[in-house]
């Protein structure tokens, strides 16, 4: 799996993505959660009869195979943007391979402990794959984020996207894509998110990665509404193929660079651990 999208598949937690990583679903992330990016692309496992260990992360695909369930939990600590305190939080979710080449990722939270805790949001992401080759996976996704806060619109935003995975060799993987969030409020507007997550396989069970994402929260004024989160992640996969357990620590600086000011912000961050495992429903 990947860490959550760092820019916030759910507010205000930023995952590459999603990579869930630094750089869904969907961690999905879904979560560093993505916010560093990729909803939780890359959770796929391979042949259930394979006797060896889990598939190395860089060789996993975009879609979780049908009949598999991938529950996950993501505790984290964050320093919110423009705040002078830290707070704790946790997200819960699961990815389910509902049919061949399609999975759904449902995430609850994050729920916070600490100063000014915002209400937890919930999101549902459906991802399908239309191209599957050894070096390239291409897909389409649709995410809806729900906000239970009565003072906010129930549908916080919807986000169609085109995720992509490139595996030029057995040691390197690049996750990217393009996502267009639409905020259906009284001030309705569109944004755009372009993640870039890079993972290197150190051994069959260990990988490291870095992730970033170009975030334009309002296309009506891109100069003042653009930010570039950045982060690092790692991962350890334990157990045989279908008794899978993955541990994915990550850290994301949620407003690492703002083009409007030219400033770097290393005070605002989210750091956590994503724990997920596989259940075979077949």
Per residue in 97-129, pLDDT (tens digit) is: 999 999 999 999 999 998 888 878 899 999 999
User: For each successive 10 residues of the chain (282 residues), what is the average pLDDT?
Assistant: 41 31 31 34 45 74 93 96 93 96 96 86 96 96 89 86 96 97 89 97 94 95 94 86 80 93 91 93 86
What is the C-alpha separation between 131 and 128, in angstroms, rounded? Answer: 9
Look at residue 126 in the predicted model and tell me its pLDDT: 98
Look at residue 200 in the predicted model and tell me its pLDDT: 97
Specify the length of the chain in residues: 282
Contact between 149 and 11 (Cβ < 8 Å): no
What is the C-alpha separation between 154 and 156, in angstroms, rounded? Answer: 6
What residues pair up with 159 in beta bridges, in sequence order?
143
**Domains of the chain, first to last:** 57-280 (2.40.160.40)
């Amino acid at each position: 799996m990947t860490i959550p999208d760092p820019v916030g598949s759910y507010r205000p937690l930023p995952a590459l993505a999603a990579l869930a990583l630094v750089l869904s679903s969907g961690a999905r992330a879904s979560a560093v959660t993505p916010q560093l990016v990729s909803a939780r692309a890359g959770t796929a496992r391979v042949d259930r009869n394979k006797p060896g260990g889990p598939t190395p992360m860089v060789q996993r695909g975009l879609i979780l195979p049908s009949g598999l369930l991938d529950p996950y939990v993501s505790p984290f600590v964050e320093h919110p943007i423009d705040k002078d305190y830290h707070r704790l939080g946790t997200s819960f979710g699961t990815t389910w391979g509902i049919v061949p080449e399609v999975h759904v990722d449902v995430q609850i939270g994050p729920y916070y402990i600490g100063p000014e805790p915002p209400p937890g949001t919930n999101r549902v992401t459906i991802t399908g794959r239309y191209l599957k080759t050894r070096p390239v996976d291409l897909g389409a996704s649709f995410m809806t984020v729900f906000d239970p806060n009565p003072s906010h619109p129930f549908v916080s935003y919807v986000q169609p996207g085109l995720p992509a995975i490139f595996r030029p060799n057995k040691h390197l993987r690049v996750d990217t894509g393009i996502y267009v969030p639409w905020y259906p409020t009284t001030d309705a507007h569109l944004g755009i998110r372009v993640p870039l997550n890079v993972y290197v396989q150190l051994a069959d069970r260990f990988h490291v990665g870095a992730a970033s994402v170009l975030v334009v929260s309002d296309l009506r004024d891109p100069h003042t509404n653009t930010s570039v989160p950045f982060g690092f992640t790692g991962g350890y996969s334990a157990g045989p193929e279908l008794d899978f357990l993955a541990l994915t620590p990550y850290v994301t600086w949620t407003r690492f660079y703002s083009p409007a000011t030219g400033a770097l912000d290393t005070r605002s961050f989210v750091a956590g651990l994503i724990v997920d495992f596989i259940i075979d429903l077949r």
